[in-house]
Amino acid sequence: MEAKASNLSQSVAMGAAAGLAVGLAANFVRKAAVQSPTVLASNWDAALAAEHAAALKIFDLIERTDNKATGRRAALLAQLKHAVGKHAFQEENVIYAMMRDHGFTEAADHLNHEHGYVKQYFFELTEIAKDDRAWLPKVKKFRTMIETHMREEESDLFPKLRRKLSDEQNKHVTAAMNKEGFKLA
């Protein structure tokens, strides 16, 4: 009897372990799918530019919603927050750190400071009711701010860092950044 009970608990434990393994595998596949556009871009700066464009597409979708589409607004906001959160994690943990290491401390700190306000916008847009008339105007202000930030990165600061690094270093930055991105993908 006792042996049977322990067999049962053993098989329950094995079942749970198998379930966990399936869950982890599914999680890995999801992460790989989310990170793959970044990986496929091959260079860190091209990958970040592709993520900027993808985020702006989500802004486009949000801006097309009306005050009645509260569920869609919440879902798109969550999607944008996930995409931008992963993007910022990559920049802060690798790119801005490399910028500081190569003499662009002030520029890196300025960009990092702006990321704080990106979080502020996400917080406020989460707090405000999605059918509030103030919601969409805030989204538009957020977009203006984040687009300026993206342009500064893409057309000025990232090319400067890229030029300062050797091919080998750029390759290393790309790999390190993808490793970080995968954690939050």
Separation CA 95–CA 81 (nearest Å) = 20
Separation CA 81–CA 37 (nearest Å) = 17
Q: Segment near Fe ion (CB under 5 A), from 3-11, 28-36, 89-97, 171-179?
A: 89-97
Question: How many positions of this chain bind Fe ion (CB under 5 A)?
Answer: 2
Q: Segment near Fe ion (CB under 5 A), from 18-26, 27-35, 56-64, 151-159?
A: 151-159
Separation CA 72–CA 174 (nearest Å) = 34
User: Of 67 and 120, which has the nearer Cβ to Fe ion?
Assistant: 120
Q: Please answer whether residues 145 and 133 qualify as being in contact, where contact means their C-beta atoms are separated by less than 8 angstroms.
A: no
**Helices and strands (H, E) in the chain, number of each type:** 8, 0
Q: Segment near Fe ion (CB under 5 A), from 14-22, 68-76, 100-108, 148-156?
A: 148-156
Q: Segment near Fe ion (CB under 5 A), from 16-24, 71-79, 85-93, 155-163?
A: 85-93
Q: Please answer whether residues 98 and 153 qualify as being in contact, where contact means their C-beta atoms are separated by less than 8 angstroms.
A: no
- Report if residue 45 touches Fe ion, rule: CB under 5 A: no
Other C-beta atoms lying within 10 Å of the C-beta of residue 55: 18
- Token readout for 13 is 């434990």
Separation CA 72–CA 130 (nearest Å) = 9
Q: How far is the CB of 115 from Fe ion (least distance, A)?
A: 6
User: Of 115 and 130, which has the nearer Cβ to Fe ion?
Assistant: 115
User: Of 49 and 69, which has the nearer Cβ to Fe ion?
Assistant: 49
Q: Please answer whether residues 174 and 98 qualify as being in contact, where contact means their C-beta atoms are separated by less than 8 angstroms.
A: no
Q: How far is the CB of 91 from Fe ion (least distance, A)?
A: 5
User: Of 91 and 180, which has the nearer Cβ to Fe ion?
Assistant: 91
- Report if residue 91 touches Fe ion, rule: CB under 5 A: yes
Give residues in contact with Fe ion (CB under 5 A). 91, 153
